[in-house]
Each structure stands twice: as C-alpha cells, then as structure tokens.
Amino acid sequence: MKQLQGIFFLLISTVFTAGTSCSDFDDYSFYIKVGSGVSCSELANVAAFYPPWNESLQGYNTTIGNCAIASFSVGCEISHIVDVEVSISNRSIFEYRRLQFSTIGSGSYTREFDLSVTPILFSANLLGRGIPHCHFEADSGKLYPIIGVGIGMSNLLITNFRTTGLPATGDSSPYESFSAENEYTLRKNFTYTFLVGAEYSHGDRWAIGTGYRWLNAGDFQGPEYQRVASGSAVDLDDDTWSMRFRANEWFLEFKIFI
C-alpha cells in the first residue's frame, strides 16, 4: 500500500511540474471512453480451513481462468499532459473448478463457484502528448506513452458456489447430489491498479490507447450461509473460506472528446 501511495504522489507531482513548465491548466477537454481487453487472473489463493471444510489431497487453491473486459469512463484531459477520470468496468465470468479426492474414504467431488469483478475507480494517467520530446508526430496526430494509477472499490460477486459430483443420497437417488450450496454472495473490496501503454490521438477529436494493466482487488471471504446435502441451512464463519483476486490485463480503449 505504501508503494502504491508513493507511485500515486510521484505521478501527481510529475503532472503538476510538467504542467507548470509546458502550459497553463486552462487548456482542458472532457471525454468519454469505452474499452475492452482480456483479464488474466492469477492463482485465487483459496484457503479453506478444516473444520468445517474437508481435507483433500489436491488442496483448494487453483486458477480461475481468463475473461473479457468491458469498461466505460468519463474524464478530463488537462493540458494534454494528464487524464483524470472515473471508470466502471466488468470482468465476467471467472470460473473456479477444483476436483478433489478426500483424504478419508473413496470417491471424488468438485468444488466450484463463478466470480464476477466490477471495479469503480478514480484514475490519473500521465500522457506524453503535451510533454516535449515525449511524443511523435504521426499522420495528423501524435503517438505517445501513458502511465497511470487508479484507486477505488470492487464488487466481487460469487455465484453458484457449491460442491458437486457427490453420490446419490436419500431423495436424490438415482441422481448425484450436491452440498455446501450458496446462490450468491457479494463482497466489496478496496482495489488499485497501475498501467503502462501507448496512445495515439487524432487532434482533439479522438484517441485510441492500448497497453498492460495490473489490477489487485485484494483478499476476501467466501459465503457464510450455506445449504448442506441434508437440506439444512447452516451459518459458517465467513473466514473459513478465503481467497483473493489479482489479474494481469491487456486493454484497448477508445476516447472521444466532447
């Protein structure tokens, strides 16, 4: 967290220093931005404590895959040096699937859930467009690097949380049963990002950018309330199942000045 604060304050101080030496901050343009890309999640770092969760030979930790990004932003470009914006984006749906064999008895089952991540962020991006020697003239426009940081909050929606592939029991026969079921759980977590990339602007009409972004939505807990195989509802401590969300992302964004 201290490293993130250092990067953020360094970026802001650089912006104001460059702005003072290059131009007045009376030069600004508002814009809207739409974006897409791919979010590649890191290991979910799932920890499920015994009891109540069974011990297994495979453990609980695994990847949750990749998914597409859809985003929308509104912001202001100041002196062609910095973008200040508010954005909302969605990453849906990551899938957790973990086949397990119990350390006692025989048979296997699958722990599973789906995860959607929706951050709302305030971001500041430093642009090379208005800084001398940091851009290239290209076809009536400019090509330049961008670096940025963002802070905010993510909605982390856990759905279809359950254990499947269990043997038929009671009224479920002849069909397989399932256990530890919870339809949805919403967690809210502090989130931060940083990015580096390149942008091409065509005058003051539009710009397109692409690059790499790191997103960290932190650690959070799994569902607290669950329905077990017998049909009974149980109230577990919500910290008996914990995980995290971190992702390496490629983004593509299109900006229109208004």
| Dist CA 36 CA 146 (whole Å) | 17
CATH of the domain at 226: 2.40.160.20
Domain span including residue 8: 2-15+28-257
Q: Is 163 a member of any domain?
A: yes
The reply to whether 21 falls in a domain is: no
pTM for this model (two decimals): 0.85
Q: What is the pLDDT along the chain (258 residues), one digit of tens a residue?
A: 555 445 445 554 544 444 443 345 568 899 999 999 999 999 999 999 988 888 888 999 999 999 999 999 999 999 999 999 999 999 999 999 999 987 876 688 999 999 999 999 999 999 999 899 889 998 889 999 999 999 999 999 999 999 998 887 767 677 777 888 999 999 999 999 999 999 999 988 999 999 999 999 999 999 999 988 777 888 887 778 999 999 999 999 999 999
Work out how many domains the chain is built from and give that number. 1
Q: Which residue has the tokens 């609980």?
A: 60
Residue 250 is assigned to a structural domain of this protein: yes
Note whether residue 22 is domain-resident. Answer: no
Burial of 160 (0-12, 13-18, 19+ CB in 10 A): middle
